[in-house]
Structure 1
């Protein structure tokens, strides 16, 4: 399996391109702010053809480029039903946070938004079969109501021997930390339940590809992540 990841220009949101191999169809996961040039380079380098966009949740820093990516390739965006309404206008809920003013200052123009033409709602436990890949949807609310993780039963080429499966965790779990719950849609109690029931139940040999920051593993986080250790001790 081929997975190429790179951070967006704003907030360091990780965008991932996932494919069975070079020259195949692929999935684009969380195309955030100003990722189009880097995405195009990855597609050219590996001769990949996007088949769908997968969104771990509906926050602006993970969805900003979803419409141009979907539109230019004639593909659908997949999002959990509970975050579907965020694709109508994700700018609105961040208007009072200063994020839009920051984007205007950085890029010299006001942020704009158009909803994707084709949106597919997914639910917990669904199995997606797209681009020759099979992914399980794991609903893990807390960062937003519709936050999900995508689990694949294989790992990218060159992955360490200690891992045998892959978990795209979005803003649920990071290396050494977890997603914030003070943003729109956040719920700390729900996050703790998701960490206990959805994250800690994952096998230790799961490679974790988070929405921000470096890759890690479930085993490593179980042993060192202070939020998980606190849950395990309670």
Structure 2
């Protein structure tokens, strides 16, 4: 599986592109702020054609570029039903000073239009898109509709330092799980108790050899997080 990840221009949000290989259809995951030029480079370099945009949740830093990406390639945006309302206008929920920062950085007024084709996901749903099979895992806490996407494959040429065994599957964890931490739960729609349940019931049962590609920061594995992530250690007691 071909996987390319790169950080957005603001907030350090990871955007991922997944494909069975070069010259094929692909999936774009969480296109955040200022990713359009870099995404276009990745698509050209590997001769990829987007088939859909997957969203781990509806916060602006993960969806800022979803509409232009979907519009340019005439593809749908997929998001859990409980976060779909956020695509109506995520900019309106931001502090005005943050909107001003975005406008200053990118030289234009922050504007928003909802994607024309939004499709909602449910927990446990199996997706077959762009030649890739994924499972949707609802893991609320960061937002009501936060999800993780699991693929029974790993990136080509992957090397994970300190991994006890080579990974056999990959989970795109959004802002549910980071290397050494978790997503914050103090924003509107966040729920710390729900997050702890998601960690206990959704994350902890995953095998140690699962590769984790988070919404922010470096890749990790479930085994590494099980042994050292303070939030997983808390719910494992």
- Distance in 1 of aligned mates of 2:76 and 2:214: 22
Paired residue for 1:195? 199
- Distance in 2 of aligned mates of 1:34 and 1:128: 28
> What SS class does the counterpart of residue 196 from structure 2 fall into?
helix
Deviations 1:35-93 (A, max 9, x none): 00000000011100000000000000000000000000000000000000000101111
- Distance in 2 of aligned mates of 1:105 and 1:21: 38
Paired residue for 2:181? 177
| Greater displacement, 50-59 / 223-232 | 223-232
TM-score (norm 1): 0.97
TM-score (norm 2): 0.96
- Name structure 2 gaps, 5 residues minimum: 160-164
Deviations 1:106-137 (A, max 9, x none): 12322100000000100000001000010000
> What SS class does the counterpart of residue 110 from structure 1 fall into?
coil
Paired residue for 2:141? 142
> Structure 1 segments of 4 or more deviating over 2 A?
none
- Distance in 2 of aligned mates of 1:155 and 1:139: 21
Describe how 1:153-168 pairs up with structure 2 within 5 A: 153-160=152-159, 162-168=166-172
1:121 pairs with 2:125: no
Aligned residue pairs, count: 232
- Name structure 1 gaps, 5 residues minimum: none
Paired residue for 1:44? 44
Paired residue for 2:77? 77
Paired residue for 1:53? 53
Cα deviation, residue 105, structure 1:
2.1
Paired residue for 1:18? 18
> What SS class does the counterpart of residue 91 from structure 1 fall into?
helix
Cα deviation, residue 94, structure 1:
1.4
- Distance in 2 of aligned mates of 1:114 and 1:163: 39
Describe how 1:95-134 pairs up with structure 2 within 5 A: 95=95, 98-134=97-133
